[in-house]
Structure 1
Amino acid sequence: MRYQVELSHVKWKKCMQMQMAMHCAPVLAGLKPSNAVTLDYIDSKELIQSLAGSDIKCGLIYSGNGKCLWLLYREQQVNQYLMDSENQRFLKHCGYSSFQIQNILYTLKNRYRLYKAGQADFPHELGLILGYPLCDVIGFIKNNGQNCLYC
């Protein structure tokens, strides 16, 4: 893939806009319901301001060590995806009792905090919230992140 070789030679300026473009282009373009991006803490205000007036929302998942993990999402698309009965069954198995994005973010934030503190396993349901097919999320869990067909 030639573009990957060319991208590796570019001297990227590390800024919030570049991070969003690199990690969140599919959600910004309306092709995916959500994406996650890690930004420096000082970029959080700029992130919130840059999304003002758009239909893209952001939810803080975790902050620590000067970094913030944000979920950028289109609420209607995420809620629609999470209405699938199999997705709800999986989320219920993970300890979720509500399937509205605001309630899910609250629970995910707590589960991610426990993970970062070394008190719980990684909350793999994040993959489902990011719009990955349930079979891929389950396969990732069963294979411990190994043996994927495509990266």
Structure 2
Amino acid sequence: MDKYIKHQYVKTANSLEGKNYISAMIAYNAAPTVKGLKPASLINFTIGRKNRIELWKFYKDEICKEFDLEYIELREKFESLIVLFYKKELLEWYLSKPSSQVFLDGLGYEGHMTLEEKLQLLRERFSCSCPDEVGIFLGYPIEDIQGFIKNEGKNSLMCRYWKVYANPDRAQELFETYDKAKASIARSIISNTTLSSTDINYRPN
């Protein structure tokens, strides 16, 4: 994404307060999911200058309703709160793909489990560390997740939204699509300091 747009987004977002600030942060960082391009996104809220954790807790239900998102808080400790934002139908579809289900079966996510049960298990596994299978929930290609595990996170072909181990051309196309989603929301925040339903429903070309 254009560095100027990103810089202007950061400058504008930091000038906002309360709900406007935390909404802008969520919309930008979860943009590919907000726009229905990716099943889920992770955001790690920290206290920082504006106490993002408290802002999230106060406005979370209102914001997620406006953005048509579901969420689950995966882990909170010290000054950090990790939240998974997701589109329910899209995530259910992605997890039900044969390749995804085979992978998850080996980790205890049985096929008969509901989405809510799978998310609860993911949260339990997050209590110790960030589990490898979170990549499935985030919509990463199965080949890249398997490559990450096999190579212990080393020797990737490229690294942006995730570490790529197979089909870099496909990954680059996805990265560019996600960048367009973030740039679209960034421009809306810069120009209006608010997000309309038109902005949220926009799909990049």
The two structures have a TM-score, normalised by structure 2, of 0.62
Q: 1:69 deviation in Å?
A: 0.8
Q: 1:22 deviation in Å?
A: 3.1
Kept in 2, the 8 Å contact 1:87–1:128? The answer is yes
Q: 1:53 deviation in Å?
A: 5.2
Equivalent residues in 2 for 1:17-96 (5 A)? Answer: 17-39=23-45, 40-42=52-54, 43-52=56-65, 54-96=67-109
Cα 1:7–1:55, aligned 2, differ >3 Å: closer, same or farther? closer
Kept in 1, the 8 Å contact 2:42–2:85? The answer is yes
SS in 1 for 2:30: helix
Q: 1:149 deviation in Å?
A: 2.0
Residue of structure 1 in register with 2:178 after alignment: none
SS in 1 for 2:124: helix
Residue of structure 2 in register with 1:139 after alignment: 147
Provide the C-alpha distance between the structure 2 equivalents of 1:106 and 1:16, rounded to a whole number of angstroms: 25
Provide the C-alpha distance between the structure 2 equivalents of 1:77 and 1:24, rounded to a whole number of angstroms: 15
Q: What percentage of aligned pairs have identical amino acids? A: 27
Kept in 1, the 8 Å contact 2:104–2:133? The answer is yes
> Is it true that 1:107 corresponds to 2:106 in the alignment?
no
Provide the C-alpha distance between the structure 1 equivalents of 2:59 and 2:131, rounded to a whole number of angstroms: 27
Q: 1:146 deviation in Å?
A: 2.0
Runs (5+) with no aligned partner, structure 1: 116-121
CA RMSD of aligned residues (A): 2.2
Provide the C-alpha distance between the structure 1 equivalents of 2:113 and 2:152, rounded to a whole number of angstroms: 26
Equivalent residues in 2 for 1:119-134 (5 A)? Answer: 122-134=130-142
Runs (5+) with no aligned partner, structure 2: 46-51, 161-205
Aligned-partner residue type, residue 65 of structure 1: F
SS in 2 for 1:72: strand
The two structures have a TM-score, normalised by structure 1, of 0.82
Kept in 1, the 8 Å contact 2:34–2:67? The answer is no
Provide the C-alpha distance between the structure 2 equivalents of 1:147 and 1:19, rounded to a whole number of angstroms: 32
Aligned residue pairs, count: 144
| Structure with higher RCO (Cα < 8 A, 6+ apart) | 2
Aligned-partner residue type, residue 110 of structure 1: E
Kept in 1, the 8 Å contact 2:34–2:68? The answer is no
Kept in 2, the 8 Å contact 1:26–1:32? The answer is yes
